[in-house]
């Protein structure tokens, strides 16, 4: 009965507070709310499904372990995406298939850039979203991730900045550059 109430009436942050106070059922609901999102985010970010399953499992383990460090006045989604980002980056670094730079000059100084709202709109092509997402694999992780978070996970600039721990203006710069690179990949001419 209480579980049904939690499922329908409680926000992520309220559930997180309940977990902090020892209600493990609240974590089950958070798990159910975020498992597909995490898998989707991970699937688009990581190539190997074996990696993905382990990584997503790791995300939820870290979430549970560190839930008492979560400030319930802030957004839970940003917090869990941040955990996921760190976990996925570690997987990429461990696999060593793609380069992940330690220092990014974009974060040093950057200028605001405006961008389109939809993935199809940004490319002006007839390709489906899934096909475009598939092409994204050719982008470097830092550009691929920012496109996933903005266009597919529909996070705002501020939220992406919090997930990636980068300046808000850098989010705009990265989206613009990622978009330009993706355009080249989709229509090489």
Partner 1 sequence: MDEHTQKIQAKVLTAIKRGEIVMRPRWHFVLKTVLATLGFIILFLVLIYLMSLIMFGLRETGILFAPGFGWYGMIVFLKSLPWILIILIGVFLIVLELLVQKYSFAYRRPLLYSAGIMVVIILGTAWMLARTPLHVVMMHRMEMRPLPVMHNLYREIREPVWNNAEVGKIIFFTNKGFDMKNPRQEVIIVSIHPGTRIIAREALQVGDRVIVVGKKIGSTIEALGVRQIPEMK
Q: Catalog residues that contact partner 1 under the rule CB under 8 A.
A: 19-20, 24, 27-28, 31-32, 35-36, 39, 49, 53, 56-57, 60-61, 64-69, 107-110, 158, 161-162, 165-170
**Measured between alpha carbons, how far is 163 from 81 in angstroms, rounded to an integer?**
6
CB of 184 to partner 1, least distance (A): 27
CB of 128 to partner 1, least distance (A): 19
Taking the least distance from each CB to partner 1, the nearer of 1 and 111 is 111
Angle ∠(84,27,40) on CA atoms, nearest 5: 35
Residue 42 or 141 having the CB closest to partner 1? 42
Phi, psi of 102 (to 5 degrees): -75, -45
For partner 1, give the closer residue by CB, 4 or 69: 69
User: Given the complex with partner 1, which of 89 and 186 has the nearer CB atom?
Assistant: 89
Nearer to partner 1, 17 or 183 (CB): 17
Q: What's the min distance (Å) between Cβ of 140 and partner 1?
A: 20
Closest distance to partner 1 from the beta carbon of 150 (Å) = 16
- Can you tell me which residue has the tokens 């499904």? 49
Cα 4 to Cα 6: distance, rounded to the nearest angstrom: 5
Closest separation between CB of residue 136 and partner 1, Å?
19
Q: Is the dihedral of CA 43, 48, 49, 54 positive or negative?
A: negative
The total of other beta-carbon atoms located within 10 Å of residue 121's CB is: 10
First to last CA, the chain: 60
């Amino acid at each position: 009965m209480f579980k049904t109430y939690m499922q329908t009436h409680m926000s992520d942050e309220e559930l997180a507070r309940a977990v902090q106070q020892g209600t493990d059922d609240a974590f089950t609901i958070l798990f159910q709310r975020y498992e597909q999102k995490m898998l989707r985010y991970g699937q688009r970010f990581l190539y190997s499904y074996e990696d993905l399953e382990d990584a997503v499992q790791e995300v939820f383990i870290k979430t549970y372990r560190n839930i008492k460090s979560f400030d319930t006045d802030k957004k839970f989604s940003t917090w869990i995406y941040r955990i996921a980002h760190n976990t996925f980056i570690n997987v990429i670094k461990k696999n060593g298939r793609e380069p992940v730079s330690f220092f990014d000059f974009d974060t040093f100084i950057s200028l605001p850039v405006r961008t389109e709202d939809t993935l199809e709109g940004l490319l002006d092509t007839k390709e489906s979203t899934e096909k475009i997402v598939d092409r994204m694999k050719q982008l470097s992780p830092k550009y691929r991730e920012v496109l996933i978070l903005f266009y597919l996970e529909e996070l705002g600039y501020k939220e992406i900045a919090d997930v990636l721990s980068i300046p808000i203006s850098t989010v705009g710069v990265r989206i613009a550059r990622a978009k330009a690179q993706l355009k080249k990949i989709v229509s090489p001419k």
